[in-house]
């Protein structure tokens, strides 16, 4: 048994525990910023370490836990997302609560959940990882005790999320019952197309779609996104969604590949519906977080559509898209945080005159939103091309077509935000301040989005290698 494969997960847990201990040891009135720096530095170290695991392809705990390029790709994505989120939200978190140490520790523990999900090679580990992540998110969503919206969002997420977990678990029990195993490769070997099996499959798909906020399982997303503190919303939107993608891919392509004929049609409908509903409803939103929530529903639709190819090219597209979606979201949420620090609310109107007060942040917001819309030369364009070319190859041209048309419709509401930033006058002449770390994160997001869009080669190769390791 090679316990070293678990090093990065263990390290994150230790880091979280360290933060809790330091938090207790520090005098009450002392600022907790140092704990945030500790978390960031620790994660950076772990990120560097994960590169050490490259090329590994091994399992531990009787095949329950696997470390391969696919898992590493996602783990690195989660870690980078967490680091960037922490960096842009120091000021925000300190304004939110006195218990910042707890906040950092919880965020790290949810990261562990995601990392476990990326490596899960059996249904139970999938479930454990998923619950570890989700239960911590229940707490984090309701972390803003002064805001009734936050508490409401936390409660809503708890109730709906538990129901979804129950559905998922119920589906797993059917699958276990009819294949006699929970290990993914064993399930693949004993697949039958019996109705009971398909019932289990359908229930599991519903459970995963809830995590991914795919229509019609998306109802929780707008309220939760709006109520949750911004860094939590950001993590929900990018990291938690990517973790959902990771398990969905592994479960469906390793365990259920043999039943493709049954689930492809359903997945195509779900993906198509998500694109349409997410984009149409987003048009009427006036709260930036709510708008991003609906937009994330549509983005999940795009990512999910890559599953239709059911081959390495499609998976490569999904991995590629997950990264660029993370990068774009970092930019959008960083700017949202800066505006919230300034005005204390998340109305789209608050962005008025941003291009005058902080040209950099206005450009970052514009580029991030347009990347999500998939306009060249931003990264989103290349991501959509990868996914849509892969599924066109398999005869799903209509989804590609629908996706392209809907993405251009989505430009409509992204442009409304751009209009507010560029053409409206600022509400007041107050100086606009944003911390250096926030500006740096915004700049990183801008450069990465443009770089991936113009020169996608390196990232595509990484995604390709990761995708191939699934087979």
Partner 1 sequence: MVDFPLLTAILLTPIWGILVLSFMPREADKTIKMISAVTMAIALGLTLYAYWAYDVSLGGLQYIENVPWITELGVSYALGVDGISLPLLLLTMLVGFSTVFVSWNVDKRSKEFFIQLLLLVVGAIGTFVSQDLFIFLLFYELGIIPSYIMVVVWGSSERVSKEYAAMKLTIYLLLGSAFMLAGVIALYVNAFPAGMRTFSMQVLAQAHTMGNLSEDVQVFTFFLLLLGFGSTLSMWPFYSWAPDGYAAAPTGVSMLHAGVLKKIGGYGLIRIGLLILPLGVKFWAPFIAFFAVVNVLYAAFVTIAQKDLKYIVGYSSISHMGYILIGFAALNVISIDGAIANMFAHGIMSALFFAMIGLVYDKTNTRQVLSLGGLAHQMPRVATGFMLAGMSSLGLPGLAGFIPEFTTFVGAFKVYPLYTLLAISGIVFTALYILRVLANVLFGPRREEFDTCRDASGVELVSLVLLGTVLVVVGVFPQLLMGMVNSGMEPVMALLVKLHVTPTLLGGVFQ
The binding site for partner 1 (CB under 8 A) comprises: 355-356, 359, 366, 370, 375-377, 381, 385, 388-389, 392-393, 397, 400-401, 404-405, 407-409, 411-412, 415, 418-419, 422-423, 453-457, 460-461, 464
- SS3 of 263-290: HHHHHHHHHHHHHHHHHHHHCCCCEHHH
Calculate the dihedral angle through the C-alpha atoms of 325, 120, 66, 254, rounding to the nearest 10 degrees. -80
CB of 266 to partner 1, least distance (A): 23
Identify the CA nearest to 140 among candidates 25, 225, 207: 225
DSSP codes joined into one string, 373-415 = HT-TTSHHHHHHHHHHHHHHHTT-HHHHHHHHHHHHHHHHHHH
Q: How many residues does the chain have?
A: 471
Peptide bond into 296 cis (omega under 30): no
Of residues 49 and 398, the one with the C-beta less far from partner 1: 398
| Euclidean distance between the first and the last CA atom of the chain, given in angstroms as a whole number | 23
* Helical (H) or strand (E) element with 224: helix 220-227
Identify the CA nearest to 222 among candidates 159, 280, 296, 162: 296
The three-state secondary structure class of 449 is helix
Of residues 228 and 399, the one with the C-beta less far from partner 1: 399
Of residues 139 and 411, the one with the C-beta less far from partner 1: 411
Which residues neighbour 55 within 8 Å (Cβ) at sequence distance 6 or greater? 69
CB of 429 to partner 1, least distance (A): 16
Of residues 67 and 399, the one with the C-beta less far from partner 1: 399
Of residues 347 and 424, the one with the C-beta less far from partner 1: 424
Q: Is 31 exposed, middle or buried (0-12, 13-18, 19+ CB in 10 A)?
A: exposed
Of residues 112 and 400, the one with the C-beta less far from partner 1: 400
CB of 218 to partner 1, least distance (A): 23
Of residues 62 and 419, the one with the C-beta less far from partner 1: 419
CB of 401 to partner 1, least distance (A): 5
CB of 394 to partner 1, least distance (A): 10
Q: Are 348 and 416 in contact (CB under 8 A)?
A: yes
CB of 263 to partner 1, least distance (A): 23
Residues 457 and 449: their CA atoms lie apart, in Å, by 13
CB of 411 to partner 1, least distance (A): 5
Identify the CA nearest to 6 among candidates 128, 88, 115, 86: 115
CB of 320 to partner 1, least distance (A): 12
Of residues 8 and 449, the one with the C-beta less far from partner 1: 449
CB of 455 to partner 1, least distance (A): 7
Of residues 139 and 409, the one with the C-beta less far from partner 1: 409
């Amino acid at each position: 048994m090679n316990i070293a494969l678990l090093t990065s997960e263990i390290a994150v847990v230790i880091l979280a525990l360290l933060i809790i201990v330091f938090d207790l040891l520090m005098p009450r009135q002392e600022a907790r910023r140092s704990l945030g720096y500790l978390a960031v530095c620790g994660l950076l170290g772990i990120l560097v370490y994960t590169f050490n695991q490259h090329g590994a392809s091994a399992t531990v705990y009787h095949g329950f836990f696997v470390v391969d390029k696919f898992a590493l790709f996602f783990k690195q994505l989660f870690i980078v997302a967490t680091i960037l989120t922490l960096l842009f939200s120091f000021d925000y978190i300190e304004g939110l609560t006195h218990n910042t140490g707890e906040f950092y520790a919880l965020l790290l523990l949810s990261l562990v959940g995601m990392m476990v999900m990326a490596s899960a090679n059996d249904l139970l580990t999938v479930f454990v990882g998923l619950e570890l992540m989700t239960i911590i998110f229940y707490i984090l969503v309701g972390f803003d005790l002064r805001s009734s919206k936050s508490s409401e969002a936390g409660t809503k997420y708890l109730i709906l999320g538990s129901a979804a977990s129950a559905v998922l678990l119920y589906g797993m029990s059917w699958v276990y019952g009819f294949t006699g195993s929970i290990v993914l490769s064993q399930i693949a070997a004993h697949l039958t197309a019996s109705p009971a099996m398909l019932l289990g499959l359908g229930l599991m798909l519903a459970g995963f779609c809830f995590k991914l906020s795919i229509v019609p399982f998306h109802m929780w997303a707008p309220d939760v996104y709006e109520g949750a503190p911004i860094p939590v919303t950001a993590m929900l939107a990018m990291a938690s969604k990517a973790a959902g993608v990771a398990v969905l891919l592994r479960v469906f392509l390793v365990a259920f590949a043999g039943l493709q004929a049954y689930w492809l049609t359903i997945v195509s409908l779900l993906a198509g519906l998500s694109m349409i509903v997410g984009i149409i409803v987003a048009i009427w939103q006036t709260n930036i977080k709510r708008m991003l929530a609906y937009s994330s529903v549509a983005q999940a639709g795009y990512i999910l559509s890559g599953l239709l190819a059911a081959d390495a090219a499609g998976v490569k597209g999904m991995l590629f898209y997950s990264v660029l979606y993370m990068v774009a979201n970092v930019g959008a949420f960083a700017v949202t945080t800066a505006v919230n620090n300034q005005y204390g609310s998340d109305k789209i109107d608050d962005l008025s005159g941003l291009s005058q007060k902080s040209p950099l942040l206005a450009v970052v917001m514009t580029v991030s939103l347009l990347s999500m819309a998939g306009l060249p030369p931003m990264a989103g364009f290349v991501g959509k091309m990868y996914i849509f070319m892969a599924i066109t190859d398999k005869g799903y041209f209509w989804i590609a077509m629908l996706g392209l048309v809907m993405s251009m419709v989505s430009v409509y509401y992204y442009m409304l935000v751009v209009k507010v930033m560029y053409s409206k006058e600022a509400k007041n002449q107050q100086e606009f301040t944003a911390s250096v770390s926030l500006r740096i994160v915004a700049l990183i997001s801008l450069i990465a989005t443009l770089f991936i869009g113009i020169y996608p080669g390196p990232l595509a190769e990484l995604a390709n290698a990761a995708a191939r390791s699934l087979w």
